[in-house]
Amino acid sequence: MSELPKHAHAVIIGAGIVGNSVACHLAKLGWKDLVLIEKGPLPNTGGSTGHASNFIFPVDHSKEMTQVTLDSLKQFKDLGVFRESGGIELARSEERMQELRRRMASSKAWGIDSSLISPNEVKKLFPWVDPDVILGGFYTPSAGVVDSLRAGTLMREKAIELDALKVFTNTEITDIAVKQGRVSGISTTRGEISTEIVVICCGVWSPRIARMAGASISLSPVVHQMIDVGPIAEFEDCTEEIEYPVLRDMDKFMYERQVGRNLEIGSYAHRPIIVRPDDIPSIEASKLSPTEMPFTKDDFDPQLEDAMELLPEMLDKDEVEIQYSINGLLSLTPDGEPIIGETAEVKGLWSCAAIWIKEAPGFGRMIAEWMTDGISEIDNHGVDISRLYEYARTENFVESRAEEAFNKTYGIVHPNEQWGMSRGLRVSPFYAREKDLNAEFYETAGWERPYWYNSNQKLLEEFSDRMPDRTQEWDARWWSPIIKAEHLAMRERAAMFDLTAFAVFDIKGPGALDYVQKMAVNQMDVRVGRSVYTPLLNDRANIKTDLTIMRLGDDFFRVVTGGSDGSRDKKWFSDHLPDDHSASLADMTSAVCTIGLWGPRSREIIQSLTKTDMSHEGFPFGSVQEIVLDRIRVHALRISYVGDLGWEIHIPMEYGQFVWDLLWEAGQPLGLIPSGIGVYGTTGRLEKGYRLYGAELDADHNPLEAGLARPKVKSQNFIGKEAYLEAREKEPDAIMCTLTVEDHKSASGELRFMLGGEPIVTLSDGKRIVDRHGRSSYVTSAGEGPSLGKYILMAYLPPEYVNNDNALAVEYFSELFPVRVAVAGGGSLFDPDNERMLK
Amino acid sequence: MNILVCVKRVPDPGTKIELTADSRAVDTSKLGFTISPHEECAVEEAVQMIEEHGGEGTVLTLGLPESDAQLRDALAVGMERGILIETDGSDWDPGQTAKAIAAAIEEDQTRHGPFDLLMFGNESADSGGFQVGIRVANALDLPCITGVKSMEMEDGQLVCKREYGDGWEVYKIPLPAVVTVKEGLNLPRHPSLRGTMKAKKKKIEFVQPEKVSAQLVMNRLRHPAETSKEVEILGEGAAAAPKVIELLRKLEVL
């Protein structure tokens, strides 16, 4: 075999489906001098690709995941390795039938042809199913099966053919060298290569490889059991690998698929079995392969029974033997999303891991685009490795969440479902008070945040007549009517919110202004004591994030961003710091806690604690001042995300509880209540039509479409300016709208309340609405507007749909509910002139 | 025809066998377990003979309580009853093992009637002592044939064959008898789904043995000196064809 080159432009580690895909896409984008290192043989390296069940169901509740899967499907088809068999997700329970109806909405939203079919229709497609044990199925004709090993080989060969790639097998990586925070080379069992870029595509081994460079990839290998049974007499005449649809027996957390004359049965029902990367056996010490571990039979026994119950005719006979059985390893992550992008710890070290076969070509393309241009066509914020805070990079955290995630693989996961494991990691100084008030805690970025306070139960009586309650269990799950009551009490009196989950970065130095000017769309050269809400763009003028920047000094800016975005935003800011060190970034998140104080009586409350003039004239909207509350110096920022008069109060962490108590005491005579994030993030925000990153704002849309464009563009340069100016020349192809639901009554007479992700369709025929770029209209956020007595949805609509000439509806659990556009573009449904905030 | 088959839970390793730190055992922490291949054939042969001649198959093992998994495997392919002689995981030499097994068989026969045939693997896949079957035969005063690769019933007697040079030795023995068999005797079946389900309901009896003193003590395991292997990859796909042809010519295959 040829010798390792001394130098490579980039080294890709791992020749499973992912590594091959990355190599192929980098080569297609013009990269040369690529080296692919693989410790095993080809084409089956012994990694998870080798035992994957290889089927693809395109529909996912997540838009980005569906987009990546569809891209992958297209690539597999182009490679000639895909066989369309169709796929059916089966329901044995009414609860699952509901979930299948929800899947129908997702398939409509993302434009995939699917249908709900009866047990007998299932039997027509897969004749050996006992129709009596199921209630129905969700049928996707475009589902199918790929040859993932062949796909990997073809992609690798493509890169070689482009004269871009050298491949070295039976070569194990032993070290990754890092100099001054940047990759400088790798060592292998065959020698060393100097390189500034390494992509880890090592599947279940990825954490171990990342550790060589002092970085972390937050995934955990977990066991997924599968068996292969046969011979199946019913498949005797089959000539293709698969001629019948893949079955997913969703309620039993298992699947059945034809493999030639056999049937493969896989399970996600058993206890979570975690294997540490260091405990995976070597290739030589493995009986089958390192990722095909010894089968633990007892764990699978209930599934045998379930499979025989579903396919009695086919399986309940002596000739059908269990011919192969493994505890196969796959990768799970703390939030169920893949781990893609450059690691936060080491420049030039990229991760492309925790990826299923169905997504691999798509994520290969995504990371190749990202490595080439810094941007990918499909939004990557949800899979970006830099989303993971430090706590989420520890082994115990990753394992605990992977354990919890395992049974969600085929589970029915509510969109607001909270994690149970590894909770209570980050708490604000108000935590003890919040617990005393019987807060219901939801987690964001490791922080425990009150979503509502059960102590506010008493408000229900006062405000219960303003809006109907959610009576349907699914709609009301992870929700409380107390949220509406807190909202109305805030609008009438005042409420205090724990906003400590904010990420806070201080930017200082002589180059600070130029630097923030470069980062932000809006004018940052404001006078000291002003704050600016601004989007940040990527080079294509799509939205990277949105946040608030305060100018606290000539050379001092403070960035405040959401907890969910903080880790990602920190990397984005850090990556763009000036090379001459004229500006520096300090993460102040752990030093600052925040109370939001809003409502018509908030001024009276805060004024009673300070000598600073808090009047509209003395403390205008958008300004920030250092003030003394009683004896504590804090920053007060006059801003609002809920549409009422008030302040964000930024307090040094250790004084937090003292200030909470001050406000609490001062506010009691004025009816101050504690209020949760349900109001802050949903009801208050939606009444004002404020956008949320990850919901309304994403890399699929630009600020004009999002309704965030200001009348003028600043003269200074900023990231994405060129593309932004270009976009401003054109009419937007989609407009962010605030919609109201006009009738909540379902066919059964029960009132239904959407939760987000549902398609917006034409009322007359339920047709999907798509803009000129193929982007569909779907609900980005949903929730009550208690002050309006309306239920509010946000959605992008093509311009021709915003004037209510076309009657629109939202599809929810296979029913249409009429909606109307209340606000097109920027602007608020509630208090449109912002009189409440600006007085 | 009542047949007892004795099996042993052994590790199921890859090509490289890892040892524990004290080199006194195979490191099984990452391994699965199975029964020795010879014993798989013994179980299959017993099941076939019972299918043909009637009777009941019993499978016995001596080992840790988790060895019941291996008994269940045998029950899944058609054995009816299991006996587990429970140990604490300490070493049992062939003499100790055979004593305990013989005692368990004698005790079982008092309750369930005599076995017509006792089958063993010729040697276990891990320690390879080649002794237990013979020692049990001796203890129970039964005739014993080892290394058997073919067996069938003829006029109430058992005809066994074993390889000898290029030919066969053929024995005809009256029952009851002890036979130790070798892989190749038959092609063992995999368990069916149905059999696996049924096996869960079959009975396994746990027996507490008496442990006599050991006569053999294992000191240390050692990997044999590695014969150097070199693999040369001639190429991938069609590009490798000319080199393959060249090699086949060199080997005078073509």
Nearest by CB: A322 against B18, B29, B190? B190
Contact status, residue A549 vs residue A534, Cβ threshold 8 Å: yes
**Which residues are bridge partners to A636 per DSSP?**
A625, A649
Q: What pLDDT digit, counting tens, does each position of A363-421 carry?
A: 999 999 999 999 999 999 999 999 999 999 999 999 999 999 998 999 999 999 999 99
Does pLDDT of B92 surpass 70? yes
Under the banding of pLDDT at 50, 70 and 90, the label for residue A1 is low
| Residue % of chain A over a pLDDT of 90 | 97
Q: Does B69 touch chain A (CB under 8 A)?
A: yes
Nearest by CB: A321 against B13, B32, B191? B191
Contact status, residue A53 vs residue A393, Cβ threshold 8 Å: no
Assigned domain for A714 exists: yes
Average pLDDT for residues A128-155, to the nearest whole number?
98
Interior/surface letters A262-294, b for 16+ CB within 10 angstroms, e for the rest:
bbbbbbbbbebbbbebeebbebebbbbbbbbbb
Domain of residue A785, CATH code: 2.40.30.110
| Residue B201 Cα, gap to closest chain A Cα (Å) | 12
Query: To the nearest whole number, what is the mean pLDDT of chain B?
Result: 93
Strand (E) or helix (H) holding B68? helix B68-76
Q: What is the pLDDT of residue B127?
A: 87
Q: Which range marks the domain in which residue A187 is found?
A: 10-46+151-219+335-392
Domain of residue B150, CATH code: 3.40.50.620
Q: What is the pLDDT of residue B238?
A: 84
Pull the structure tokens for residue B209.
């043995």
At B24 the three-state DSSP class reads: coil
Assigned domain for A102 exists: no
**Which residues are bridge partners to A176 per DSSP?**
A186
Contact status, residue B188 vs residue B78, Cβ threshold 8 Å: no
Assigned domain for B43 exists: yes
Assigned domain for B240 exists: no
Q: Does B33 touch chain A (CB under 8 A)?
A: yes
Indicate the residue among A374, A392, A410 that finishes a domain. A392
At B86 the three-state DSSP class reads: strand
Whole-angstrom Cα distance, residue A698 to residue B28? Answer: 50
Average pLDDT for residues A682-696, to the nearest whole number?
96
Under the banding of pLDDT at 50, 70 and 90, the label for residue A78 is very high
At A528 the three-state DSSP class reads: coil
In this structure, the strands spanning B3-7 and B57-63 are parallel
Q: What is the pLDDT of residue B252?
A: 86
Average pLDDT for residues A210-217, to the nearest whole number?
98
Test B30 with A279 for CB contact under 8 angstroms. yes
Test A297 with B69 for CB contact under 8 angstroms. yes
Average pLDDT for residues A803-809, to the nearest whole number?
88
Q: What pLDDT digit, counting tens, does each position of A168-183 carry?
A: 999 999 999 999 999 9
Lowest mean pLDDT among A134-143, A353-362, A615-624, B233-242: B233-242
Indicate the residue among A366, A392, A418 that finishes a domain. A392
Q: Does A278 touch chain B (CB under 8 A)?
A: no
Q: What pLDDT digit, counting tens, does each position of B177-221 carry?
A: 999 999 999 999 999 999 999 999 999 999 999 988 888 888 898
Indicate the residue among A327, A358, A392 that finishes a domain. A392
Assigned domain for B238 exists: no
CA Rg, chain A, in Å?
28
Cite the active site residues of A.
Answer: 224, 255, 546
Q: Does B157 touch chain A (CB under 8 A)?
A: no
Assigned domain for A699 exists: yes
How far out from the chain centre does Cα B195 lie?
A: 20
Under the banding of pLDDT at 50, 70 and 90, the label for residue A699 is confident
In this structure, the strands spanning A349-353 and A182-188 are unpaired
Q: What pLDDT digit, counting tens, does each position of B56-85 carry?
A: 999 999 999 999 999 999 999 999 999 999
Assigned domain for B250 exists: no
Reported ipTM: the value is 0.89
Q: What pLDDT digit, counting tens, does each position of A89-122 carry?
A: 999 999 999 999 999 999 999 999 999 999 999 9
Assigned domain for B254 exists: no
Test A287 with B13 for CB contact under 8 angstroms. yes
How far out from the chain centre does Cα A579 lie?
A: 32
Query: To the nearest whole number, what is the mean pLDDT of chain A?
Result: 96
Assigned domain for A600 exists: no
Average pLDDT for residues A39-63, to the nearest whole number?
94
Per DSSP, A584 falls in state: E
Pull the structure tokens for residue A412.
């029915």
Q: Which range marks the domain in which residue B42 is found?
A: 3-229
Q: What pLDDT digit, counting tens, does each position of B106-153 carry?
A: 999 999 999 999 999 999 999 889 999 999 999 999 999 999 999 999
Query: In chain A, what residues touch B231 (CB-CB under 8 Å)?
Result: 170
B200 → chain A, closest CA residue: A301
Pull the structure tokens for residue B241.
């064809």
Number of domains into which chain B is organized:
1
Pull the structure tokens for residue A704.
């004009």
Assigned domain for A22 exists: yes
Does pLDDT of B228 surpass 90? no
Domain of residue A344, CATH code: 3.50.50.60
Q: What pLDDT digit, counting tens, does each position of B151-160 carry?
A: 999 999 999 9
Number of domains into which chain A is organized:
2
Assigned domain for B239 exists: no
Whole-angstrom Cα distance, residue A332 to residue A327? Answer: 15
